[in-house]
Chains A and B, each alone.
Chain A
Amino acid sequence: MGSHAVNGVAELHSEIIKKDIFKAFYELFPEKFQNKTNGVTPRRWIGSCNPGLAALYTEALQSDEWLADLEKIAEAKKLAKDKEFQKKWAEVKRSNKKRLSGWIKRNLGITLNEDSLFDCMFKRIHEYKRQLLNALYIIYRYMKIKDTPVQERKKWVPRTILIGGKAFPGYMIAKKIVKLIGAISDVVNNDKDIGDLMKVAFLPNYNVSLAEMIVPAAELSHHISTAGYEASGTSNMKFTMNGCLIIGTMDGANVEIAHEIGEENMFIFGARSDEVEKARERVCLQIFNCVLIFLFSCLDEESHSRGILW
């Protein structure tokens, strides 16, 4: 609070800081609080990592000024229904997918179907980011496909599910989530019955270099943290800039992206940040009850027999 300003890193985050985390300080110095939403640079995340798309934009807008001022890219909107532009766009996406699937083939030995939907989730492994939710959905989907009679399986759109990220060494649950994804990928990829309908791969050692290859190739990306927990999140911006759709919760910068591109162009689900506490209330009560019961049972029996003081 010695600083002259306190920044939130996304609009939602700024609100949470004011209402919740630094409530008392906000009452003291309301003028210090402001919002500076985090961002990423289009030079690296379009220009450098996706040269095909960059060339396409430059050609369409007849200048590369959009690299310094991304607002200018809105002019390309009028080309959205242009057949020729659509074709070129699809070619760029496809060549990027080819590059990524080549890398996966060389390094992980998994052959991917390049015509499938590339469904990505790349972020630090953490409970609040909910890779577990995605993993459970993968199993759900796998079981659903198995339940569908063979002749009706063409109803399922083929998907390639790519997950990556590092887990803190001492974070047991995060490590177990990685284990779960690896186990799923072993079972699903070796299931001849499923074939190309579904492939799962965990890409090891996620870093910026790898991200520069994944981001241009992605078609659907997951940003599904529990609402109110992601301060800002910036990979959603990287993916969006490269023509990738977002499935996500109303959290961090997702809120602003949804506002910018329209909620109907984003797959939004789940509890909003103000619902979370309400949804959890029962959990806390339950846990509280359990603790009470445990303590009282200690008091009744064990504390007498073993002499435990709590």
Chain B
Amino acid sequence: MKKATPEEYFGKELLKVFKAIDDGVFGYTNELKSLIDSIRHQNDFYLVGYDFASFVEAQEKVTLFISYNYAIIYVFCRLMSCTKILVNGIENQSLLRQAVINFPVIEPSVNMLRKFGNKMMHLIKFNNHFSFT
């Protein structure tokens, strides 16, 4: 535990999670509260709080990776709709634009790029290539 206060050690987000459990969002307040008590009173022996932030970061990396797989599908869709435009004329371009905007590709945030840019170049390159801005 680096810092003494729970605000500094657990971070805002995790404290919000604790609060939700305390407030009974998930029911069984007594049992669940006592479970959280097993880590929050400076007794976090297995470092759940210590590793939480980097765990969230790793999960974001997972999302980035999946958006890479989505991007492959996106290229396919784009090719498909391009051929459609050739057939149907220009009026469909706004439709295409809409389709592209609606496509569920997660663009990596600037922070993510800075952090993982060097390590996961093969993912980043792909994502940048098909960014929508």
A contact set with B: CB distance below 8 Å? 117, 127-128, 130, 132-133, 136-137, 139-141, 143, 154-155, 157, 173, 176-177, 179-180, 183-184, 186-187, 220, 224, 226, 229, 245, 247, 249, 263-264, 267-271, 276, 279-280, 282-283, 286-287, 290
Contact partners of B48 in chain A: CB under 8 A: 130, 132-133, 136
B17 touches A139 (CB 8 A): yes
Say yes or no for B91: interface residue by CB 8 A criterion.
Answer: no
How far does the alpha carbon of A173 sit from the alpha carbon of B34 in the complex, in Å? Answer: 9
How far does the alpha carbon of A133 sit from the alpha carbon of B14 in the complex, in Å? Answer: 10
Chain B min CB distance to A268 (Å): 7
Q: Which interface residue of A133, A141, A186, A247 has the most chain B CB atoms within 10 A?
A: A133
Q: Is chain A's binding surface mostly helix, strand, loop or mixed?
A: helix
Q: Answer whether A270 and B51 are a contact pair too, CB < 8 Å, given A130-B46, A279-B2.
A: yes
Contact partners of A187 in chain B: CB under 8 A: 25-27
Contact partners of A269 in chain B: CB under 8 A: 51, 54-55, 57-58
Say yes or no for B87: interface residue by CB 8 A criterion.
Answer: no
Contact partners of A117 in chain B: CB under 8 A: 62, 66
B52 touches A137 (CB 8 A): yes
B58 touches A247 (CB 8 A): yes
Size class of the B contact interface (CB-based, 8 Å): 35 or more
Q: Answer whether A143 and B20 are a contact pair too, CB < 8 Å, given A133-B48, A155-B106.
A: yes
B31 touches A179 (CB 8 A): yes
Identify 11 new A-B residue pairs, CB closer than 8 A, beyond the known A130-B51, A140-B17. A127-B38, A176-B34, A179-B28, A245-B62, A245-B65, A247-B58, A264-B122, A271-B50, A280-B47, A283-B43, A283-B44
CB neighbors of A among B18-63 (8 A): 20-21, 25-28, 31-32, 34-35, 38-39, 42-48, 50-52, 54-59, 61-63
B2 touches A282 (CB 8 A): yes
Which of A154, A180, A245, A267 is within 8 Å of B104, CB to CB? Answer: A154
Say yes or no for B119: interface residue by CB 8 A criterion.
Answer: yes
Say yes or no for B120: interface residue by CB 8 A criterion.
Answer: yes
Contact partners of B17 in chain A: CB under 8 A: 136, 139-140, 143
Contact partners of A279 in chain B: CB under 8 A: 1-2, 47, 50
B contact set with A: CB distance below 8 Å? 1-4, 13-14, 16-17, 20-21, 25-28, 31-32, 34-35, 38-39, 42-48, 50-52, 54-59, 61-63, 65-67, 70, 102, 104, 106, 119-120, 122
10 nearest A-B residue pairs (beta carbon) = A269-B58, A183-B26, A270-B51, A176-B35, A269-B54, A282-B1, A286-B42, A283-B1, A267-B58, A226-B46
Q: Which interface residue of B26, B39, B119, B120 has the most chain A CB atoms within 10 A?
A: B26
A137 touches B65 (CB 8 A): no
Residue ID in chain A nearest B53 by CB atoms: A269
B32 touches A180 (CB 8 A): yes
B39 touches A132 (CB 8 A): yes
Q: Answer whether A143 and B16 are a contact pair too, CB < 8 Å, given A133-B55, A137-B52, A183-B32.
A: yes
Contact partners of B43 in chain A: CB under 8 A: 283, 287
Residue ID in chain B nearest A155 by CB atoms: B106
Q: Answer whether A173 and B62 are a contact pair too, CB < 8 Å, given A137-B55, A140-B13, A287-B43.
A: no
B1 touches A286 (CB 8 A): yes
Which of A157, A184, A271, A286 is within 8 Å of B66, CB to CB? Answer: A157
Contact partners of B51 in chain A: CB under 8 A: 130, 133, 224, 226, 249, 269-271
A176 touches B32 (CB 8 A): yes
How far does the alpha carbon of A226 sit from the alpha carbon of B51 in the complex, in Å? Answer: 9
Residue ID in chain B nearest A247 by CB atoms: B58
Q: List, sorted by A's number, 10 A–B pairs whose CB atoms are closer than 8 Å.
A: A130-B51, A137-B52, A139-B26, A154-B102, A176-B32, A224-B55, A249-B51, A267-B62, A269-B58, A282-B1
How far does the alpha carbon of A176 sit from the alpha carbon of B38 in the complex, in Å? Answer: 11
Which of B32, B119, B120 is within 8 Å of A179, CB to CB? Answer: B32
How far does the alpha carbon of A143 sit from the alpha carbon of B56 in the complex, in Å? Answer: 13
